[in-house]
């Protein structure tokens, strides 16, 4: 089976390369913003039309010629993706890009054969820790110490600039062996605020309290930032510190999420979660920052579950989000509406008398719902 996989390296550009990277990021952003405003004026404009417009932009903005032209086309593809998501109601209408927020550009892999010589615009040499990128030529990288080479076809590279550091992510198409599946164990997962994940086996993972440490730090820095004069050296210093704190938070989260998902997948063949409208669920965590952190942590876990299940030929079932998993008694099926109040942590069933932790009760219900939909699907096909 072919899967897409990303490898992210720290990139160490020279001063000149750094300049070119920042210039390319700026040019990609410019093209993206110009095309977005054109699209706003003329909704019929297609990506193909936009790509044809690039040479015209060269006359007006001569500096666009200095950067990797593929990155400018990628900016248009990114816009197209954003618009498609909007049309499918998976996201809001694309916004204009601002400097300092997600500074990055993407470029696609191109292979040419000329006079029997193969030319590739993106190359990676893990032995010598060198990456070759269009226009930038060779640059040093760090990461994946134990990996000797990347087995697969490079699709694209994304170059990021975060808090004065540079990174490059290589997206690769890899062949992974097909795994035979014999579904024998099933687990239900409830995602929440008290514990990130509670399973129907009664195990809790990832108390999001560890996020509090970062939350406090980021909040403190943001407070500091608000007292600085915009654009001053101190202001920029604080901004970098905030980006750095976010990056650390992201790394910590990635590591924890990977561990949780690996553990769950290792022990189970069918994993059932709620198809959450996460935003509506975390209403209680009214503190804006934590809400954002928890929401993106949950989406990250779902994303990991999705691709890992696909790779390992396991089944991920997402049950309807309107399913009243927290109100139904997992023992007798009685519905207890007072459980709508999420402050009640213990499920006490007035009908059968069972007392069970709220999240465990919910995860067992989710598991049952998953088993039902699993068999429905099997008998329909």
Name which of 212 and 351 has its Cβ closer to Zn ion.
351
Q: Are 366 and 319 in contact (CB under 8 A)?
A: yes
Name which of 142 and 351 has its Cβ closer to Zn ion.
351
Whole-number minimum distance, CB 343 to Zn ion, in Å? 20
DSSP 335: B
> Please, what is the Cα angle at 326 between 322 and 328, to 5 degrees?
90
Could you say which residues in the range 340-359 bind Zn ion, by CB under 5 A?
349, 351-352
Could you say which residues in the range 220-249 bind Zn ion, by CB under 5 A?
none
Instruction: Write the interaction track for Zn ion spanning residues 135-174; mark x where CB under 5 A is met and - where it is not.
Output: ----------------------------------------
Number of residues located near Zn ion, criterion CB under 5 A: 7
Name which of 1 and 352 has its Cβ closer to Zn ion.
352
* Tokens linked to 151: 């087995």
| 284 contributes a contact to Zn ion by CB under 5 A | no
| Angle, helix 15-41 to helix 47-60, in steps of 10 degrees | 120
Name which of 55 and 353 has its Cβ closer to Zn ion.
353
Q: Are 273 and 308 in contact (CB under 8 A)?
A: no
Whole-number minimum distance, CB 354 to Zn ion, in Å? 5
Name which of 33 and 327 has its Cβ closer to Zn ion.
327
DSSP-derived pairing of the beta strands 355-357 and 346-348 = antiparallel
E strand residue ranges, the chain? 2-12, 104-108, 111-114, 117-120, 123-125, 130-133, 137-142, 153-162, 165-175, 186-191, 197-199, 204-205, 270-274, 315-319, 346-348, 355-357
Could you say which residues in the range 109-138 bind Zn ion, by CB under 5 A?
none
d(CA 313, CA 270): 10
Name which of 221 and 364 has its Cβ closer to Zn ion.
364
Instruction: Write the interaction track for Zn ion spanning residues 308-347; mark x where CB under 5 A is met and - where it is not.
Output: ---------------------x-xx-x-------------
Binding stretches for Zn ion (CB under 5 A): 329, 331-332, 334, 349, 351-352
């Amino acid at each position: 089976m072919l899967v897409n996989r990303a490898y992210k390296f720290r990139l160490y550009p020279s001063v000149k390369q750094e300049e070119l990277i920042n210039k390319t990021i700026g040019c990609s952003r410019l093209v993206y913003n110009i095309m977005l405003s054109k699209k706003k004026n003329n909704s019929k404009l297609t990506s193909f039309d936009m790509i044809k417009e690039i040479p015209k932009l060269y006359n007006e903005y001569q500096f666009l010629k200095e950067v990797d032209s593929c990155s400018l086309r990628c900016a248009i593809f990114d816009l197209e993706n954003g618009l498609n998501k909007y049309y499918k109601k998976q996201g809001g209408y694309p916004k204009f890009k601002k400097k300092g927020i997600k500074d990055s550009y993407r470029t696609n892999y191109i292979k040419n054969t000329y006079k029997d010589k193969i030319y590739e615009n993106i190359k990676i040499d893990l032995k010598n820790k060198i990456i070759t990128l269009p226009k930038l030529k060779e640059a040093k990288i760090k990461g994946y110490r134990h990996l000797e080479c990347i087995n697969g076809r490079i699709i694209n590279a994304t170059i990021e600039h975060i808090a004065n550091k540079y990174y490059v992510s290589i997206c690769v198409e890899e062949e992974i062996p097909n795994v035979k599946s014999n579904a024998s164990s099933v687990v239900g997962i409830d995602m929440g605020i008290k514990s990130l994940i509670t399973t129907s086996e009664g195990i809790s993972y990832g108390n999001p309290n560890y996020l509090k440490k970062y939350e406090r730090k980021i909040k403190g820095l943001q407070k500091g930032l608000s007292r600085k004069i915009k654009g001053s050296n101190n202001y920029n210093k604080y901004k970098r510190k905030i980006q750095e704190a976010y990056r650390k938070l992201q790394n910590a989260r990635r590591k924890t999420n990977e561990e949780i998902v690996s553990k769950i997948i290792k022990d189970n063949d069918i994993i059932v979660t709620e198809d959450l409208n996460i935003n509506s669920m975390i209403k209680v965590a009214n503190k804006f920052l934590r809400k954002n952190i928890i929401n993106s942590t949950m989406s990250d876990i779902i994303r990991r579950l999705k691709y890992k299940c696909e790779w390992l030929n396991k089944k991920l079932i997402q049950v309807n989000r309107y399913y009243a998993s927290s109100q139904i008694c997992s023992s007798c099926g009685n519905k207890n509406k007072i459980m709508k109040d999420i402050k009640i942590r213990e499920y006490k069933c007035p009908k059968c008398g069972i007392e069970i932790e709220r999240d465990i009760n919910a995860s067992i219900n989710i598991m049952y719902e998953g088993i039902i939909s699993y068999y429905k699907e099997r008998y329909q096909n």
